[in-house]
Structure 1
Amino acid sequence: MSVVESKVYVEYRSGSYWIANSRISLDSVVYAFRKGLSPESIVQSFPLLTLEQVYGAIAFYLAHRHTIDLYILEEEAAFDAMPQPLQTDQPILYRKLMSFKAQQENLGSEHSLPS
C-alpha cells in the first residue's frame, strides 16, 4: 500500500494568504464563498485555479475561520485607512463608489453563512 502525502492548498507569503503556487489570494476565494458561490462557480471566476485548489482553499478557510476572518478584517481596515486619490480628486464619484460598496456588503451579509 502506498502512502498518500497531504497537499498544501494555502500558503502565507509576503504578509498575505495565497492559494498555493498561484497569484490568487485566499481572500478572493473566501469572498466568493461567503457570497454563496459554489466551488464550480468560483473556478469559473478564477480559471487559473482547479476545482481541487478551490475545495482545498475552502477547507483551509473553514478549519481556520476565526483567524482568517480576523485577517480579512485587518486587511480591510488597513485598506480603508489608506488615502484614496478619488476621495480628494473626485469626491462625488468617491461617495458614489462607497455607497455602492456598502450596498454590496449589505447584500452579501444577507446571504452569508452563519459562523
Structure 2
Amino acid sequence: MTIAIVAEKTPLVTDPYGVVRVAKTRITLDTVVTAFLEGCTPEEIGEQYPSLQLPDVYLVIGYYLRHRDEVETYLAERQRQSEKNRRDVEQRFNPIGIRERLLARRI
C-alpha cells in the first residue's frame, strides 16, 4: 500500500493592514510564535486558542522554523510599530493620572 504525499499549504494570510493571521481566525502569527518560543506545545497553543485547529498550529510552527529569519524580521517590525503606536497614543492621551480622572467622573 502506498500513500499519496501531498504538500500542505501553510494556513497564513495577510490582512488588509499587513498583519499575518492563521487561516480564517483572528489569531496572529505573532501569537502562535510567541507561545511556541515561551515553551508551549502545539497542543497547549490549540487549547489556549480554540479557534485554531491543531494541524494548522503545527503547520505555522513548521513555517516559522523553516523561515525563522523572515518571521523574526516581521515580528521585530510589528514590535517597532506597536511601540510607535503606543507612544503616539500616550502623546495624545496622557496616561499619567488617568485612574484619578476616571474615578473623579464616577462621583
Which aligned pairs between 1:84-103 and structure 2 lie closer than 5 A? 84-85=89-90, 88-91=93-96
Larger RCO: 1 or 2 (CA < 8 Å, sep 6+): 1
Asked if the contact 1:10–1:19 (Cα under 8 Å) also holds between the matched residues in 2, the reply is yes
Question: Which residue of structure 2 aligns with residue 32 of structure 1?
Answer: 35
SS in structure 2 at match of 1:58: helix
For structure 1, the 5+ residue unaligned runs are 94-115
41, 60, 63: which one aligns with 2:63: 60
Q: CA deviation at 1:86?
A: 8.3
Question: In the alignment, does 2:75 pair up with 1:72?
Answer: yes
For structure 2, the 5+ residue unaligned runs are 99-107
| TM-score between both structures, scaled by the size of structure 2 | 0.73
Q: CA deviation at 1:87?
A: 7.8
Q: CA deviation at 1:3?
A: 4.2
| TM-score between both structures, scaled by the size of structure 1 | 0.68
Asked if the contact 1:10–1:60 (Cα under 8 Å) also holds between the matched residues in 2, the reply is no
Higher alpha-carbon Rg: 2
SS in structure 2 at match of 1:89: coil
Q: For residues 70 and 91 of structure 2, what CA distance do their matches in structure 1 show?
A: 32
Corresponding pairs, count: 93
SS in structure 2 at match of 1:80: helix
Question: Which residue of structure 2 aligns with residue 7 of structure 1?
Answer: 8
Q: For residues 78 and 50 of structure 2, what CA distance do their matches in structure 1 show?
A: 25
Q: For residues 43 and 30 of structure 1, what CA distance do their matches in structure 2 show?
A: 12
